[in-house]
Amino acid sequence: MQAEALRDFIIDKADDLKARDIRVIDIREKTDVTDFLVVCSGNSKTHVRSIANHVATEAKHVDNAPLGTEGETDGEWVLVDFGDVVLHVMQDDTRDFYQLEKLWGHP
């Protein structure tokens, strides 16, 4: 799956479980590690884990399994790495603290 199609797929699947404040950060010009960051919020640890798990499971169904996942145990911030796109699902307090959008220069 191309990076743009993968990005859209991830956004759609996160939205399935009512992820809030979904933002896409295009970092192709800033790094060669990945093309897009998708950042969204969940209401609780369970919600954060559920969103990340749903996106990863749905991606597996279309033969695009994630390369890795971090943070499922704690549930404050779960990162799902798809190579060209990295999904960050965070609780509001964690998202406010780390401010990934601001860090990558996205308003």
Structure tokens given for 34:
């990945």
Q: Are 10 and 84 in contact (CB under 8 A)?
A: no
Instruction: State the Cα–Cα distance between residues 49 and 70, nearest whole angstrom.
Output: 10
Domain with 38, as residue range(s), is 3-103
Instruction: CATH number of the domain at 70, please.
Output: 3.30.460.10
Percent pLDDT > 70 in the chain is: 98
> What is the average per-residue pLDDT within 73-87?
96
Domain count for the chain, please give it.
1
pLDDT tens column, 34-59: 999 999 999 999 999 999 999 999 99
Confidence of residue 103 (pLDDT cuts 50, 70, 90): confident
Model pLDDT, residue 1: 73
This prediction's pTM: 0.94
CA distance 81 to 75: 16
Work out the pLDDT band at 106, boundaries 50, 70, 90.
low
